[in-house]
Structure 1
């Protein structure tokens, strides 16, 4: 059903249709409306979930880690300084290969304090071992959120769905919301084969010595590489059920024969596409590349996307001081 919804409201409803059993969050602008909407759905009895209001983002990440490790479908959301505060636990979640989903409402990391949008929060944890998917619109964020629950379950890797703070989270947009029946047909019940179970006692997160640790890290890296195909596969499966895809690893728009390309992630890609459409007679043809999967990074797909270009312009939304733009480097 097509509805005009604020981005945060649309995401909350999409997450609710995935039926998370545990939600834990600490409010931080511009993520707040997402968790407020989820909290209300739980309070009104429209979502059967345990909503845990915690005292910090570190605690939020810890709660969903424990919930998912015990075999529950779990979800959280955060932004900016909240991502930094939970970063220690984010490494534990991915290192223990615990499947769960988080929405990151992208916001600048201070100081000085800045509540508006860039991508410095998610770039700060780009090596935390999470799948990172970036959305250009609220529609894509809805579709990606639903896909994320299946991606994390089938890869054993946590998934961060990124949507630009305020630009998407607080903006009204017409969104085609799926039905619960469609989501149920696409998303199987949650299963985690390695979940902790008193009936079969086991340890999780035990001490690893230096001789074995590189093997663990390489296994994690290999799993990220395999996730590339899984992201594409699940996007195609989603299209069969819902009639639309969310962008796979990346998409190429504009003039495929152009010699100049422009690459970006997030809502800025929509601006790029609109701008080139309006001024194409003045600026000439261009190939627009929308990168959806930042981690794992689709190097092969990107090489194919830029083939034949003389120039590639990269729109960076975060800078690594002393190095330069993160996406461009």
Structure 2
């Protein structure tokens, strides 16, 4: 049945349906609504879960690391500086191979102080060993949260479910909320491979000397590679129950397209509309939506883009001194081609600035009219300012 709910509450509903055992939380805009709703479910008995209020986001992650170590299903959520404060504990969660699910609402990092959307917070955590899944809308946020628990528990890695601040988190839209019995069919009770047991004591998080540390890191990498292998199997299971699927990537009218626009998150919805509008004017481009950032589906992306002449990557993030982060990854994936497409990189929408239809149109027209990209990334929608 469909209900009109906001994107944050789509995640909250999914956590309830997933029969999570332990939730920790610390409020931070624009994530607060996720944890706020879950705390109410726990207080009124809708969720039979232990809710742990903590004094910081670092403690929020530490709490679910401890809980997950005992073999229970766990969840927390955060944004921006909260995620940055969690950084140390993200490494502990992944290094311990704990299937924690984190709801992450993309929000810009300061200074200047900003509560609006960009992807800098989650992408700054790309090397922590967490799977990262980016969502376009509320329905995808709900479905991806359920999917994340199943995937995390199969590969024993934590998963970050990422949504856009305000554009998704605070936008109300129709969302199909599944029946509990259907969720139970897809997501069975968690059976941990390793769990602390007072009757069989052992130690976790011990010193790792040089003769074992590299193998531990290699194990995380192999689990990421295994994620690429089984992702479609899990999605087939999801589709069989809920009749929806998203893929690690989505190709939208990419067949025979000379120009393909690469997007993530809610900007994809705007791009879909611009694509339809421009087709009426005789202009044609494809869209490649990237959902899975870690592990990066380089082979699938390469297959989707290899026949294009030009690729325009729209980044809602920036790595200072380098460029857009998704563009860097896409360029890396395309290196295996002897003659790959030319990659253009555009930066837009930082700090919550709108990525309007006009900006999407500008991306297409600039890419169409140039043979080669300018040196570095091109910033769109900014006001002229003095250098430095």
- TM-score if structure 1 supplies the norm length? 0.98
CA change 1:26–1:281 in 2 (3 A) is same
Runs of 4 or more consecutive aligned structure 1 residues displaced over 4 Å after TM superposition: none
Q: Deviations over 1:233-256 (max 9, x none)?
A: 1111100001111x1211101241
Structure 1 position 282, deviation (Å)? 3.5
Is 1:321 the equivalent of 2:320?
Answer: yes
Match of 1:271 in 2: 270
Q: Deviations over 1:145-173 (max 9, x none)?
A: 00111111001000000011111010001
In the TM superposition, 1:53-72 aligns within 5 A as 53-72=53-72
The DSSP-based 3-state class of the residue aligned with 2:178 is coil
In the TM superposition, 1:182-221 aligns within 5 A as 182-221=182-221
Give the unaligned 5+ runs of structure 1.
Answer: none
CA change 1:132–1:283 in 2 (3 A) is farther
The DSSP-based 3-state class of the residue aligned with 2:315 is coil
Quick one: distance in 1 between partners of 2:63 and 2:302? Answer: 40
Is 1:87 the equivalent of 2:87?
Answer: yes
Match of 1:163 in 2: 163
Structure 1 position 211, deviation (Å)? 2.6
Give the unaligned 5+ runs of structure 2.
Answer: 329-388
Tell whether the 8 Å contact from 1:255 to 1:285 is kept in structure 2 after alignment.
Answer: no
In the TM superposition, 1:99-110 aligns within 5 A as 99-110=99-110
Match of 1:140 in 2: 140
The DSSP-based 3-state class of the residue aligned with 1:178 is coil
In the TM superposition, 1:30-45 aligns within 5 A as 30-45=30-45
Quick one: distance in 1 between partners of 2:292 and 2:207? Answer: 32
In the TM superposition, 1:293-304 aligns within 5 A as 293-304=292-303
Tell whether the 8 Å contact from 2:57 to 2:86 is kept in structure 1 after alignment.
Answer: yes
The DSSP-based 3-state class of the residue aligned with 1:251 is strand
Q: Deviations over 1:170-196 (max 9, x none)?
A: 000111111111101110101111111
Is 1:23 the equivalent of 2:19?
Answer: no
Quick one: distance in 2 between partners of 1:144 and 1:206? Answer: 33
Structure 1 position 10, deviation (Å)? 1.7
Quick one: distance in 2 between partners of 1:281 and 1:307? Answer: 26
Quick one: distance in 2 between partners of 1:120 and 1:105? Answer: 11
Match of 2:257 in 1: 258
Quick one: distance in 2 between partners of 1:285 and 1:92? Answer: 46
Q: Does 53-62 or 189-198 show the bigger shift?
A: 189-198
The DSSP-based 3-state class of the residue aligned with 1:277 is helix
Structure 1 position 229, deviation (Å)? 2.0
Match of 2:2 in 1: 2
Q: Does 271-280 or 142-151 show the bigger shift?
A: 271-280
- Report which structure shows greater RCO (CA 8 Å, sep ≥6): 1
Quick one: distance in 1 between partners of 2:193 and 2:271? Answer: 43
CA change 1:283–1:95 in 2 (3 A) is farther
Structure 1 position 283, deviation (Å)? 6.6
Quick one: distance in 2 between partners of 1:206 and 1:14? Answer: 34
Tell whether the 8 Å contact from 1:186 to 1:241 is kept in structure 2 after alignment.
Answer: yes
Quick one: distance in 1 between partners of 2:247 and 2:234? Answer: 8
Structure 1 position 218, deviation (Å)? 1.2
Structure 1 position 78, deviation (Å)? 0.3
The DSSP-based 3-state class of the residue aligned with 2:154 is helix
Match of 1:111 in 2: 111
- TM-score if structure 2 supplies the norm length? 0.83
Quick one: distance in 1 between partners of 2:187 and 2:309? Answer: 42
Match of 2:128 in 1: 128
Structure 1 position 63, deviation (Å)? 0.3
Match of 2:287 in 1: 288
Quick one: distance in 2 between partners of 1:167 and 1:191? Answer: 36
Give the paired residue count.
Answer: 328
Match of 2:347 in 1: none
The DSSP-based 3-state class of the residue aligned with 2:327 is coil
Quick one: distance in 2 between partners of 1:5 and 1:134? Answer: 19
Match of 1:175 in 2: 175
